[in-house]
Amino acid sequence: MPKLPRILVYSLMIAGCLALIPPLVFARMRAVPSPNRPIHIFYDMDFQPKFKTQVGNPLFADGRAMRPPVAGTVARGESYVDVHMYEGVSGGQWAATLPAPMKLDAATLARGRQRFDIYCSACHGYAGFGDGAVNRRAMELVTNANGPVNGTQWVAAKSLHDETTRNQPMGQLFNTITHGIRNMAGYASQIPVEDRWAIAAYVKALQLSQDAAAAD
């Protein structure tokens, strides 16, 4: 084997020792806590001049970087000033009519009927006599010969043709659908406001049709 030149041997030895330095430096950096930021080679958009949530900003008198909405701001689609539309009240009383942009026509009643069949008929029955499938099944469980099955409790869905309910103005029905009543839950989160009115109008029509006197 030919002898390597001395200079090369020494150079390789020195290079070998130097090569140990970076891994040792890395190892130390990983092990020893430092008050300095880590070295950041690619900045991308990591450091931007901006205010994060909950920090102070001396520009504003109250020192808050997070600005509250300007007084009187109304979120889009969330103006509830129309009490007829949103509360069913007109002139301080339950409204007897649909709110302004809506019309009491065949389309509204058809929509109301469809929504009623979906949301209300399960308990109140398609004609509103309180004889929906859920109600019938619950009554079966409650009036079992050996006592209520699994301790079932049930408040019967009211007939919408009861004296008290029959005479309620449309606005009051709207209010019941919106907020619920006693044991019945409200439907504001499931049924949009105009559909609730359409249902109320349809219930009034149901009541008229079922409770008409021969003379009518």
Q: Does 183 bind ligand HEC (CB under 6 A)?
A: yes
Q: Does 203 bind ligand HEC (CB under 6 A)?
A: yes
Q: Does 176 bind ligand HEC (CB under 6 A)?
A: yes
203 Cβ contact partners less than 8 Å away, ≥ 6 residues apart: 112, 116, 120, 128, 160, 173
- Rounded to whole angstroms, the Cα distance separating 162 from 140 reads 22
Q: Does 155 bind ligand HEC (CB under 6 A)?
A: yes
Q: Each residue of 30-40: b (16+ CB within 10 Å) or e? A: eeeeeeeeeee
Q: Does 181 bind ligand HEC (CB under 6 A)?
A: yes
Stretch that binds ligand HEC, among 36-44, 83-91, 95-103, 158-166 (CB under 6 A): 158-166
108 and 198 Cβ atoms separated by less than 8 Å: yes
Site for ligand HEC in 120-139 (CB under 6 A): 120, 122-124, 134
Cα 146 off chain centre by: 42
Stretch that binds ligand HEC, among 21-29, 69-77, 98-106, 154-162 (CB under 6 A): 154-162
155 and 128 Cβ atoms separated by less than 8 Å: no
DSSP one-letter code for 151: G
Tell the smallest beta-carbon distance from residue 45 to ligand HEC (Å). 51
Q: Does 163 bind ligand HEC (CB under 6 A)?
A: no
Residues that bind ligand HEC (CB under 6 A): 119-120, 122-124, 134, 155, 157-158, 160, 164-165, 173, 176-177, 181-184, 187, 199, 203
